[in-house]
Structure 1
Amino acid sequence: MTPNAASGPSRRKFLASTAVATAAVAGGMPLLSACGGGGKNDRKEGTTSGKDAQKILPAFVASNVVTPDIPAKNGSAAGFTKAIPTAELKTSVPKKLGSGGKLSVMAPFWGTPPKGDNPYYTAMNAATGVEVAWQNQDGVTYDQKLGAVLASSDIPDVVVVPGWNLNGRIPSAVNAKFADLGPYLSGDKVKDYPNLAAVPTEAWQRGIFGGVLRAVPMPASYVTDIAPLYRRDLFAKKGYSVPKSPEEFLSWAKEATDAKSKLWACDDMKWTAFNIFGVLSGSDKALWWNLEGDKLVNRIETDEYLEALEWTRKLYAAEVVHPDAVQGKAGGNAGNRLTAGEILVYNQNISDWWGKTAEQRTQNPDFDIAAFDIFGADGGDPTLWAVQPANIFTFVSKKAGKQQIKDFLALCNYCAAPYGTKEFMLTAYGVEGTDYDLKSGLPVKTQQGVNEVNGAFDYTGNPAPYIAYPDLPEVTRGMVEWQQRMGAFTKKSSFFGLTVTEPTRWANLADDFEQLEDDVVRGRKKISDVQQAVSDWKEKGGDGLRDWYKKLLDDNGSNGDNGTTN
């Protein structure tokens, strides 16, 4: 999906999974996955938690329409390993809730947007009772378009805002331009929309902006979404065991690397290093902070942060990292280096476990990858930190009428239908015989479906986190169980689940740290340069920002495992 300040898995997750999905589905593979101001209403900065939030949040009523094959546990997604025959699909929206009204929706889109009158859009409009006119915008430059639109007086009825675009003036514009959904959703009111009532409370908490419930969130598992993926087939062939500590990993990496044969142990491992050494999450600015004793500490101030960078630097110094990563060509190409057999381990969004398996199974039947369990700095259990339970938000303009807001919520309720329902099948796959066909009981998108059924209605409502790859049930199970194991070691930092709008004077204070990290691990800068940068950060506003965040905790309480309780 670049989120706030530090690079962030959040954006990478979204872009990676979108690209993987497009490539895999184009190859005929089925795709099913959803992998994530103060208490006063006039506050433009801060957050809302504790008792104030309880007055605003929707009631939670778990869905019992479909039972998952693997129940959610320890913050994991639920898992569905089987395709549901059409005759057995359940109904979660027995009555059409839309009034037939019209809504314009602006959303990011990666690729060529489909025509507005395509069969998928037409079928969804008919099923939901809402006529949606999509204003798809280039996802790469979406932040620029979003900023321009929110600065104008001409705002679409509905606007999708990814969390990584909540920078600059956009957060204050969100508070000024979008409607309060509380009168329609707070407390038991959400029961008019049963699928939205089944969205986890912690995801709804992220929808509170400026003291008001303004957004319908896209729920996600709070377990780290960056996993160390490895070529399990090549490990078995070479007789390697999965390393169990940082020292074992470095020793194994030196043994496994054979540059003359164009084989390197790994790609850039910085994000896994942060997990191994227990560094506070870098995926959201608010998660950089945690209350330790009576002091609020930022991730960049911790020994763990420096230790993670130093260990990653040792990998580069030992020349066990692929040369393309050394040159800074990390990210999406790392997966290609893995499938080509040029590296044995890389870190990426866990969705690549399915994506690469689906992509390779017709090309290389022996191809097998998995995520190994994250170990701690001492080789024992890790200390992992939760990511935010939602990071994409959909808003309604303040200019929208009451019926338009109800139509929007009717649309969201339909799209939030769980796996195994008729509503889900239409939302996720489109029209049978046009957008997808059933092959051996599995829905497989046609080329038309690949082009048209993506990047639209999935923004306007999602069920509780789930993983469902019926084409590869063993991968579904592996992904969910990995999340469950890692979830057992996951803590929630002080601002977990809260959407925090920082004062604009400090909004870009830490923007240079990602580049500095990359320079350090590649040997271009030293650990002492990081220490100096942290000192400069404190003087330029870091300590002031700390005091500001501390006051938020004092005033509102914390959602985390550590620190002040609600």
Structure 2
Amino acid sequence: MTSPRPIGRRRFLSGAVTAAAATAAGPALLAGCTSETAAPNTGANNANVTLPAYKPFAGVTPDFPGNADGLLDAFSGYPANPVKVFSAPPGKGGDVSAFVLTGSPVPPAADQNPFWQELNKRLGVNLKLTITPSADHATKFAALVAGDDLPDFIVPAMFTPAGQGAGIGNLPAWLAAKCQDLTEFLSGDAVLEYPHLANLPTAAWRQCVYNGGIYGLPVPRGVGGTLLFRRDDLFAQLKANPDPASFAEFKEVCKQVTDARASRWAATEGGLMFFVQQMLGVPNRWRYEGGKLTHACETEEFRRALGEVVQLVKDGYAHPDSAIANAPVKKWFNAGNIVLNPDRYTAWPQYYADNVAGPGFKISGMRPPKFDGGGFAGTWQSDPTNNFTAFKKADKGRIKDLLVIANWLATPFGTDEWLFRRFGMAGQHYAMSNGGPVQTQAGVTQTVLGIRYIVDAPDAIFVPGDAEATRASYEYQKSIIPSSVKDPTLGYFSDAWSRKRPALDNVINTYQGDVLAGRKPLSAWDDAVKEWRAAGGDEVRGQYEEQLGKA
């Protein structure tokens, strides 16, 4: 199934990953993980937590300002003389360890990596990173937990609002037993001791609250979420309508841009499913009405979307290799083999960096029209937190030392520290071009250490060296955010979801794939919903409804 929010390259969550974690960890891995001091993980206890005070960084002025609805600040270029926030390294020497993951090839080790060596100098510590490819992450994390050999910073892929610790058992109990409650260090004005952590938006911190306390640092992202990227250069070349006003017009667009002899199709099966769902108003994971939750897969809108996409696939508008595991959809999009592709807004600069089409390459987002016309449909909001990082339990002095390191890692856009963290050293890892850093091959291979998943500054819209693309990204987000749809369960925890998500995803993914491939009729979707409910869907629903009702 293409979930209500397709998973982008920066989310690192899939049924395969969480299923692997569940297999490796085992259901009893965390049995007995309790804490005598932690409060119960109830909605009331969590609602009473005083979140960190918010004090935004005032060091740079955006060219296009964001707003309180979640629109991000946008910058046409990087400041010519970025402010250097730190006059000395924040660390006190010694080792600081972190378990992180990467969707990129694993970079060279520290002794062969000039960027890593310079990072250690600027931090004032020996940063010992366990960098794990996302495909191996779940198994290695399970082994880490089973061996009780935790690093200072714990950055598992499943510590996300959507994943909720899937694959490791009872997440709140595990956090209480093994990880540091950071409330006394970060709650309210206490966070002002770490000004760059105080610069993180309040919404991002809500996903770090468990057991009546703050149990991690967030990696914030904008709520713009996943969009259907469009190859504007190819649309212009093919004289195709870039803004269809209904499903009927969208279907005509798919027909016009598809040419199998030229190895070009409209999108993947998943891309078509993503877009048609939004046209029909399929909910963002859940719909909450009258005190009752309905999952997206249970709605008539979803069933209708599946039927429409089955026909689009039969008509030949989907890439024929759409269903293969780990299909290289980004490469297909950049090469023009597909002209539409769903991806998170954060992919906008990466597409330009990976451009193989030459100077005419141009992309933007296609807004979903209402199925029968009459305006635009609502897009799905993304979670304001990409993931969060827990701390291994330690004495107060050690925790404060780690928070000082984290404060440096969260220095915002426009600073010298941010530029170094993302792009490395000038002349060696990047060169400035048209007001933006362009990485060398050394920069591409050496800088992907995964440190931005420990903690990160608030996101900003910025396509290096391309002010026009930056403006296009900003205008797209500005257009969709006011009508975007939030997941009503965001901020609530379901123990059943954290344990059973792999099995639930597998039911839906398997049936959807079978229906799209023609192995099962559309009527089989009734069986999919029954299996999903029996496998834990009803249990998850009940846990969320109880919390929503009390709220």
* TM-score of the superposed pair, with normalisation by structure 1: 0.83
Structure 2 partner of 1:314:
311
Alpha carbons 1:203, 1:497 under 8 Å: kept = no
- For residues 442-496 of structure 1, what are the alpha-carbon distances to aligned partners after superposition, in whole Å with 9 as ceiling and x for unaligned? 4333333222212332123211121222311211121122112111111323222
Structure 2 partner of 1:252:
253
Selected match of 2:352 from 349, 357, 360: 357
Structure 2 partner of 1:301:
298
Paired with 1:95 and 1:47, the residues of 2 have a C-alpha distance of: 42
Structure 2 partner of 1:421:
415
Alpha carbons 1:96, 1:128 under 8 Å: kept = yes
Classify the secondary structure of the residue corresponding to 1:467.
coil
Alpha carbons 2:6, 2:342 under 8 Å: kept = no
Mapping for residues 12-411 of structure 1, pairs under 5 Å: 12-14=9-11, 42=38, 48=43, 52-73=46-67, 74-85=69-80, 88-93=81-86, 96-109=89-102, 110-117=104-111, 118-162=113-157, 163=160, 164=163, 166-170=165-169, 171=171, 172-225=173-226, 227-242=227-242, 243-268=244-269, 269-281=272-284, 288-325=285-322, 328-329=323-324, 332-360=327-355, 363-379=357-373, 380-398=375-393, 400-411=394-405
Alpha carbons 1:59, 1:187 under 8 Å: kept = yes
Deviation for aligned residue 1:411: 1.4
Deviation for aligned residue 1:317: 1.9
Structure 2 partner of 1:560:
none
Q: Structure 2 vs 1, CA of residues 175 and 290 (structure 1 numbering), >3 Å: closer, same or farther?
A: farther
Selected match of 1:549 from 517, 526, 544: 544
Paired with 1:519 and 1:423, the residues of 2 have a C-alpha distance of: 49
Paired with 1:464 and 1:386, the residues of 2 have a C-alpha distance of: 17
Amino acid at match of 2:464: P
Q: Structure 2 vs 1, CA of residues 476 and 460 (structure 1 numbering), >3 Å: closer, same or farther?
A: same
Q: Structure 2 vs 1, CA of residues 474 and 145 (structure 1 numbering), >3 Å: closer, same or farther?
A: same
Alpha carbons 2:96, 2:127 under 8 Å: kept = yes
Structure 1 partner of 2:22:
none
Classify the secondary structure of the residue corresponding to 1:552.
helix
Alpha carbons 2:52, 2:187 under 8 Å: kept = yes
Classify the secondary structure of the residue corresponding to 1:270.
helix
Mapping for residues 393-472 of structure 1, pairs under 5 Å: 393-398=388-393, 400-439=394-433, 442-472=436-466
Paired with 2:273 and 2:528, the residues of 1 have a C-alpha distance of: 19
Alpha carbons 1:468, 1:476 under 8 Å: kept = yes
Q: Structure 2 vs 1, CA of residues 523 and 184 (structure 1 numbering), >3 Å: closer, same or farther?
A: same
- For residues 526-558 of structure 1, what are the alpha-carbon distances to aligned partners after superposition, in whole Å with 9 as ceiling and x for unaligned? 232112221233344433332222112233x2x
Deviation for aligned residue 1:273: 2.3
Paired with 2:332 and 2:427, the residues of 1 have a C-alpha distance of: 36
Paired with 1:447 and 1:236, the residues of 2 have a C-alpha distance of: 32
Alpha carbons 2:438, 2:464 under 8 Å: kept = no
Mapped pair 1:529 → 2:532: no
Q: Structure 2 vs 1, CA of residues 521 and 549 (structure 1 numbering), >3 Å: closer, same or farther?
A: same
Deviation for aligned residue 1:441: 5.2
Alpha carbons 2:233, 2:362 under 8 Å: kept = yes
Q: Structure 2 vs 1, CA of residues 201 and 140 (structure 1 numbering), >3 Å: closer, same or farther?
A: same
Paired with 2:473 and 2:326, the residues of 1 have a C-alpha distance of: 20
Deviation for aligned residue 1:503: 6.3
Paired with 2:534 and 2:370, the residues of 1 have a C-alpha distance of: 33
Paired with 1:468 and 1:211, the residues of 2 have a C-alpha distance of: 37
Paired with 1:279 and 1:331, the residues of 2 have a C-alpha distance of: 25
Q: Structure 2 vs 1, CA of residues 503 and 466 (structure 1 numbering), >3 Å: closer, same or farther?
A: closer
Alpha carbons 2:5, 2:382 under 8 Å: kept = no
Paired with 2:398 and 2:462, the residues of 1 have a C-alpha distance of: 32
Structure 1 unaligned segments of length 5 or more: list them. Answer: 17-36, 282-287, 558-566
Classify the secondary structure of the residue corresponding to 1:273.
helix
Structure 2 partner of 1:475:
469
Q: Structure 2 vs 1, CA of residues 114 and 518 (structure 1 numbering), >3 Å: closer, same or farther?
A: same
Paired with 1:229 and 1:359, the residues of 2 have a C-alpha distance of: 15
Paired with 1:265 and 1:137, the residues of 2 have a C-alpha distance of: 34
Structure 1 partner of 2:513:
518
Deviation for aligned residue 1:181: 0.9
Paired with 1:330 and 1:346, the residues of 2 have a C-alpha distance of: 16
Deviation for aligned residue 1:435: 2.9
Classify the secondary structure of the residue corresponding to 1:431.
coil
Q: Structure 2 vs 1, CA of residues 52 and 165 (structure 1 numbering), >3 Å: closer, same or farther?
A: closer
Paired with 1:339 and 1:324, the residues of 2 have a C-alpha distance of: 16
Deviation for aligned residue 1:352: 4.1
- For residues 255-292 of structure 1, what are the alpha-carbon distances to aligned partners after superposition, in whole Å with 9 as ceiling and x for unaligned? 443334444333321222232222233xxxxxx33321
Deviation for aligned residue 1:209: 3.0
Aligned length: 516
Classify the secondary structure of the residue corresponding to 1:206.
helix
